[in-house]
Amino acid sequence: MARVILGVSAGIAAYKSASLLRLLREAGHRVRVIPTADALRFVGEPTWAALSGEPVATDVWTAVDEVAHVRLGQSADLVIVAPATADLLARAAAGMSGDLLTATLLTARCPVVLAPAMHTEMWEHPATTANVALLRKRGAIVIDPASGRLTGADTGPGRLPDPEELFAVVQALLARLIPAGNTVLAGNTVPAGNTVLAAGTVPAAASLAGRRVVISAGGTREELDPVRFLGNWSTGKQGYALARSAALRGAEVTVVAANVELPDPAGARVVRVVSARDMHAAMLAEAGIADAVVMTAAVADFRPVARSDSKIKKDGSQPDPIALTENPDILHDLAGRRAREGQEGQVVVGFAAETDPDPQAAQAKLARKGCDLLVVNPVGNGRGFGSADNEAVVYSREGSQTPIPRGSKEALAEVVWDLVAARLR
């Protein structure tokens, strides 16, 4: 159970934060909602009070005897402001403290997450860009808004990520808050005296600030006819956990997603594809400017030689066998592209789903694919595909093995990024 402050500023997306609040409460967290006065025009005080089970105030003149404007920030484990409007970002960047939310932001010593939502013009305005840069420099985690339909008929960057995604961000950050002396994130030890990691909650050495990463996720589909395909059970959960985690470490993240039905990962740009050949083209196009590429997608090795234009019907006779032809090996081609383009510093990571993992076979596969790291995870019997948990051994080009014990897909993502960050240094 953590003490979470949910700040809400005056954007139309405030209604999504009611769902976020529910998710946080259902996870057992104690949540204090601090709306701005104008935010209450969108969602009223009774909604926040009823869903949180806590009093709601917007100004510093309520419960003065409790010195709420100082106490709330000081005692929180995490503050998230969703939506964070352009005005709220400007006031936070200027260090203003005229209401309870901005005063709380000034007194908080815990991780602070800001989830901006506004019209594209406001998000792209140089004033907002400068405010976001300043807040990030000071340690706040600012999640890039999603792209899509905005309040009017317009579309573009500026949407608040889905509540499930914001909840996943909160959970991922809270999972990193651990007592001093404990070891987290594959070998990074919390300095004595600290109870939480530094402002961004990721040690500088493991940060991906300023890095560009491209991640493939999901399972490709190879069409047989207009209604059928050859596919697999990948849901994209592992890839999206990697994307979320990289965004929280400050990376610019692009996800090439094959048939994923999850909400877009917070802070990432999503390129949608269907087949292995689509993914091949998208990954090679995106990889050119990336510092790291990670292939978590389950890619069909083969596709039907021919796709029928009409639905294949049964006619009582024995059906023809499906003739298959080989798909391009994307991971292999990414490693080849890197060498060809002189981008030797780029880190290339593959995943391998194995029903019977074997170290020798893993090392041979890594060499065959030409990647730097191969994350070998056991699959089958409810493991790997679609599950919330995962476990793996990460093999490196140099021959090292890093076991990752069973835990959440987010926890596995953290270790992978630690290993990637170490190679990028």
In the complex, the residues that contact ligand PMT under the rule CB under 6 A are 234-239, 276, 295-299, 301, 327, 329-331, 350-353, 369, 377, 379, 384-386
CB environment 74-84: b (16+ within 10 A), e (fewer): eebbbbbbbbb
By C-beta, is 27 or 262 nearer to ligand PMT?
262
For residue 204, count other CB atoms closer than 10 A to its CB: 9
Sequence-distant (6+) residues with CB within 8 A of 183 are: 189
Which of 222, 217, 221 has its CA nearest to residue 260?
217
Active-site residue identified among 188, 232, 259, 327: 232
CB 374 within 8 A of CB 362: yes
| Ranges of H-type helices in 160-313 | 163-176, 237-248, 276-287
Q: Name which of 201 and 377 has its Cβ closer to ligand PMT.
A: 377
* Nearest distance, CB of residue 26 and ligand PMT, angstroms: 22
Find the shortest distance in angstroms from Cβ 341 to ligand PMT: 18
Minimum distance, C-beta of residue 376 to ligand PMT, in the bound complex (Å): 8
Report how many helices (DSSP H) and strands (DSSP E) the chain contains, helices first: 13, 21
424, two tokens: 């990028």
Nearest distance, CB of residue 233 and ligand PMT, angstroms: 7
Contacts for 215 with CB less than 8 Å, ≥ 6 apart: 239, 242, 243, 246, 253, 254, 255, 256, 268, 293, 294, 296
Measured at the CA of 210, the angle between CA 209 and CA 213, to 5 degrees, comes to 90
Contact 247, 241 (CB under 8 A): no
Residue 32: closest CA among 57, 71, 8, 6: 6
CB of 122 to ligand PMT, least distance (A): 35
* Helix axes of 126-137 and 86-93: crossing angle, nearest 10 degrees: 50
Nearest residue (CB) to ligand PMT, 34 versus 295: 295
DSSP 263: P
d(CA 390, CA 411): 9
Compare residues 50 and 364 and give the one whose CB is closer to ligand PMT: 364
Which of residues 56 and 256 has its CB atom nearest to ligand PMT in the complex? 256
Residues 115 and 196: their CA atoms lie apart, in Å, by 21
Q: How far is the CB of 387 from ligand PMT (least distance, A)?
A: 7
User: What is the rounded (10 degree) CA torsion for 29, 32, 34, 40?
Assistant: 90
**232 belongs to the catalytic site:** yes
Question: Least separation, in Å, of the C-beta of 322 and ligand PMT?
Answer: 18
Q: Is the peptide bond before 111 cis (omega within 30 degrees of 0)?
A: no
Q: Which residues of 182-193 are buried (b: 16+ CB within 10 A; e: fewer)?
A: eebbbebebeee
Cβ proximity to ligand PMT: between 80 and 168 the closer is 168
Least distance CB 241 / ligand PMT (angstroms): 8
The catalytic residues are 232
